Structure 1
Amino acid sequence: MSSASPPTPTSPRSPRNIVVIGGGIQATSVAFHISQSKHLPDGSSVTILEAQKLANAASGKGGGFMARSWGDGSPTQTLHELAFDMYEELCPMLGVQSYRKLPVLSVSPGPTAKSRQDNKSKNPSISDIVPNWLDGSVGRLAPMGFGDDTAQVTPREVVERMIEFAAIDVVLGKCVGVDAEVKGEAKAVTGVKYVDKETGEERVLPASDVVVSAGPWSCNAEHWFDGAVSLPMDGVKSTSIVWRPPRDGSPVDATALFCGEDPRYNTHLECYPRPDGTIYLCGIGGSDYISTQQLQNDAFLTDCPPKEDRVEAATASFQMMSHAYQTDGELLQSQACMRPCPPDAKPYMGRIDGYHGAFINAGHNCWGIAWAPACGKAMAELVLEGSCKSVNLNPFNPSRFTAPGSRGGRGRKKKGVSVGEQW
């Protein structure tokens, strides 16, 4: 579905040294699918370069909800559908225990009341999906899904299982640039420069190909590739909380909640019970928007603290809905992370113009975890086969915000790649 690749400087079957920058579920999925592809030449290497630790940001703190049919008909619809189906096959293969399908309820805020409510009896037509722990004050309940096309997974577990299954090498260090040499009208990637996390020394990973997949911090690639691509990005920094399992060991019913705006607390909670008995909450409100320049200065890369006032608001809002957690609930953790948002809310997926062996896969907004298998598969096809067959990448062109004069190469058709109307 994407244009043919420009010729690479080496034979198609020569060993490749592929470096994926980033350690979240998107980067790991790219590395995993490349490593498992029959098109990866013998003797090749696949390495993840991560600045902090695996699943350090959103992939270690996200809810992990996915919905096959919840796309809006835009070009990302394929990512919803393909990834949902892939998770169902991948998770058993990888031994992921946290994956399961689950129903979803829409919940309107109820009156201010702290007494126990029998919300199952009040909603007999859907009583089988009203969870026992939803026993507080709520308004209208309506089903949004019965578990056929809605599911969840704990993203950190997926990252860990993919790394283990594929035996992918992981290097901890912060990328500071890319080495490249001139090859005709373009440059060819030869290495990735990084500062070793443990020693602080600058080193180089030999690379025939590099895939930038570092979440909101992927906008640093503007500098790594000498301005050949413009990657405007906002980081939306949001707080989330996790509740401990019940003290008495009782099961936690598996129904996710999407709650309406509650003006008392300025929340619109999303509640995801997990198989381990914890309940994850986001939609807490009070998000901060972090600019491209701030991200390029590593804002919140090493430390991303939650907002305590939002933790308190989410706690109060949740306990209004759940008498069980009001009387016997205990927070396990509060945290914050960022989702990466390009101006048009579409991801950057494709080649970086003017370079052989340079790709980007970033900016997946709030669906990065849900789309990860599809994005990994798509990028593996592009890197190893020269074109992507499973997803139409044209709407996600990384150069769509790049001024024509800034792009690599000259303003004409470049070695088989249609440059389109922007030229």
Structure 2
Amino acid sequence: MSPPAAAPKHVVIIGGGICGVSTAYFLATHTARLPTTKITILEGNKIASAASGYSGGFLAKDWHGSATSDLSEMSYNLHEELSNKFNGQKEWGYRTVDTLSIETDATRKSKKSSPLPWLENGLVHSSRSLGSHKTTAQVHPKLFTEFFSKKFLENPNTEIKFGQVKSLSLNPETNTPKSVSYSTISNDNDKQEMIDDIDSIVICAGPWTGRLSNDLLGSKIGQKLSVQGHRAHSIILKTKQDLTATCLFTSMTLKDGSAAEPEVYARPDGTTYICGAGDDEPLPETSAEVSPSPNAIAKLHKQAQALSDIFTTEQNVEIVAEQACYLPIADRGRPLVGKVRGVENVWIGSGLSCWGITQGPGTGKVLAELILEGKAKSADISKLAP
């Protein structure tokens, strides 16, 4: 692939999650030598309004398959670099963690000692290390995404617009983007807006990528970019005691014999993020319409209380949030990162599944390289080409 003949004059990035914001940030910092290039984030709701605002922020360096291993390792290291550069420990809760897999069974007593001081002795029947401070870490993804959306705006010729994308017009001579229309709400009425004189589009719309690709590019191209949404639930609890820097992947048997596998991430701000699937529903039209299932939330509270009494009301636990989001799952089973075939100057970064926070910054960096230099230099994404 040869480098572009000329620098893009106006890049529009659809989506204000971690992939879209990271792409915008790295484009803006790359284009410091290209002062005429304009970059716009177009987001339907608010920055980090979907999974990037509600996921747990667990990062893993070496848990990935061959198609994404290089991107994941690069992006994991990039998280550390960005934290060192911008004080991520303070700004978005970056820290390395120990990660354990534990099996609990409340129906029978274990003779093993608890691997953690806040887990009751006799509950954990087995535990093993899944990652150390060298290979696993965490961030608060909402704070990360919001921080870099602001850093992006510190660069010249950058902007963020809010509205629902409606259509894309292509230049018939070059088959490149020409303009994009979107709607905003003004005085309870839809107001149609237009961004003209563009020449490049990046689609980072998470679980809405499939629908949007069909609407903007037609079904022939859109069917190759199919991404679905799978609803995941989470609760955030504030306990009286701070927990160790540990992330848990559990396999639980509760007192009633039911099974559960919640993931538990202790955060440096004193909260604990607990997540699990359940009660999936079709993807709504917008991120503003996403809501949790009361049944799924109740199950998470039950599982948390079965794991440790520090999560019970008797211990004055504070419920910080009860929420849901949709993970973007690409139909083909691996992310879509690269240039879209069948149209010019359209790129995509989506379908990263539960690894969106780990891979998000790296995805943004390689997309910026593709757009400005014609080649992804920082990681091998050859198996992720759409």
Q: Is the structural similarity TM-score above 0.5?
A: yes
> Which residue of 1 is the match for residue 201 of structure 2?
210
Match of 2:307 among 307, 313, 321: 321
Q: Does 2:163 match 1:173?
A: yes
Q: Residues of 1 paired with 2:308 and 2:251: CA distance?
A: 15
Unaligned runs of 5+ in 2: none
Q: Deviations over 1:331-378 (max 9, x none)?
A: 221100001111232111122223222111111111011101110111
Q: Does 2:127 match 1:132?
A: no
**One-letter identity of the residue aligned with 1:252:** L
> Which residue of 1 is the match for residue 177 of structure 2?
189
**One-letter identity of the residue aligned with 2:106:** P
Q: Does 2:235 match 1:257?
A: no
Q: Deviations over 1:169-218 (max 9, x none)?
A: 211101111121122xx511112211124462111113221101010101
1:39 deviates by 7.2
Match of 1:371 among 352, 359, 367: 359
Unaligned runs of 5+ in 1: 124-129, 399-423
Q: Does 2:27 match 1:42?
A: no
Q: Residues of 2 paired with 1:278 and 1:320: CA distance?
A: 18
* Aligned residue pairs, count: 368
Closer/same/farther in 2, CA of residues 387 and 197 from structure 1, 3 Å limit: farther
> Which residue of 2 is the match for residue 354 of structure 1?
342
SS for the counterpart of 1:224 is: helix
**One-letter identity of the residue aligned with 1:196:** T
> Which residue of 2 is the match for residue 271 of structure 1?
264
1:265 deviates by 4.3
SS for the counterpart of 1:60 is: helix
Q: 2:209, 2:226 within 8 Å by CA — same for their partners in 1?
A: no
> Which residue of 1 is the match for residue 86 of structure 2?
94
> Which residue of 1 is the match for residue 288 of structure 2?
302
> Which residue of 2 is the match for residue 388 of structure 1?
376
1:252 deviates by 2.3
Q: Does 2:227 match 1:233?
A: yes
Match of 1:331 among 319, 341, 348: 319
Query: RMSD between aligned alpha carbons?
Result: 2.3
Q: 2:227, 2:329 within 8 Å by CA — same for their partners in 1?
A: yes
> Which residue of 1 is the match for residue 144 of structure 2?
158
TM (norm. structure 1) is 0.81
Q: Deviations over 1:17-75 (max 9, x none)?
A: 11100011111011111111157621221111000111011011000001101113x21
Identity of aligned residues (%): 29
Closer/same/farther in 2, CA of residues 160 and 224 from structure 1, 3 Å limit: same
SS for the counterpart of 2:48 is: coil
Match of 2:51 among 26, 48, 58: 58
TM (norm. structure 2) is 0.89
**One-letter identity of the residue aligned with 2:140:** T
Match of 1:242 among 215, 219, 236: 236
Greater share of strand:
2
> Which residue of 1 is the match for residue 24 of structure 2?
31
Q: Deviations over 1:279-307 (max 9, x none)?
A: 00112x325263xxxx5xx4453221112
